[in-house]
């Protein structure tokens, strides 16, 4: 049956004469339950949330980062201070102390790099192949094909699902063209 309805009434109810559903589905991977599959975006969601959090925190700290100038009270007149590059200032008794702490701890960027690499591992890609480059030392056709075969084995089920999706879409197009050519509206399929 082909039915179009809402919660309160049936708008259309007719016999369905086609061989299958009028849509094609591509699933990156099958979900344990339900009709829809699990996509790569869903698999990488938790890592992306953490990456976004770290990047926002790093951006905020980089924005707040500043060099501090400390001096004994009364030694420097604040009105004479400026932020001009290469400025020359005099001092009377002892030089001021300049504190330039790190804007961010290197552990944060290391953690960000680990998350980034983990995302590539989950996706099954090397960072080199994601950029379209070849690994260092792989310069012959045989070694390039071997590397491609190793990486493509991981995507065999995804590739087969994509091929099935393409065939399903092609069948839907052919069925629709047949239906249009058989209708009384004067359409023809060539």
Find the mean pLDDT for residues 99-105. 77
pLDDT at residue 155 above 60?
A: yes
| Cβ–Cβ < 8 Å for 31, 37 | yes
Mean pLDDT is lowest, of 79-93, 111-125, 151-165, for 79-93
pLDDT in tens, 12-54: 999 988 878 888 999 888 888 888 888 888 989 999 999 999 9
pLDDT band, residue 161 (cuts 50/70/90): confident
pLDDT band, residue 5 (cuts 50/70/90): very high
pLDDT, averaged across the chain: 79
pLDDT at residue 122 above 80?
A: yes
Residue 159: its pLDDT value, please?
82
More confident residue, 32 or 167: 167
Pairwise CA distance, residues 49 & 55, whole Å: 10
Find the mean pLDDT for residues 161-172. 92
More confident residue, 183 or 172: 172
């Amino acid at each position: 049956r082909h039915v179009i309805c809402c919660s309160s009434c049936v708008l259309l109810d007719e016999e369905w004469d086609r061989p299958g559903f009028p849509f094609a589905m591509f699933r990156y991977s099958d979900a344990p339950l339900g009709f829809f599959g699990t996509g790569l975006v869903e698999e990488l969601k938790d890592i992306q949330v953490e990456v976004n959090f770290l990047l926002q925190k790093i951006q905020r700290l980089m924005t707040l980062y500043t060099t501090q100038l400390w001096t004994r009270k009364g030694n420097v007149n604040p009105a004479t201070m400026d932020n001009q590059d290469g400025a020359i200032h005099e001092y009377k008794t002892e030089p001021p102390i300049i504190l330039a702490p790190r804007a961010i701890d290197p552990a944060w960027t290391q953690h960000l790099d680990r998350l980034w690499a983990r995302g590539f591992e989950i996706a099954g890609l090397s960072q080199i192949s994601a950029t379209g480059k070849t690994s260092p030392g792989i310069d012959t056709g045989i070694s390039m094909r071997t590397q491609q075969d190793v990486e493509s084995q991981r995507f065999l089920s995804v590739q087969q699902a994509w091929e099935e999706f393409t065939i399903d879409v092609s069948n839907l197009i052919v069925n629709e063209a047949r239906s249009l050519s058989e209708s009384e509206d004067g359409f023809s399929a060539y």
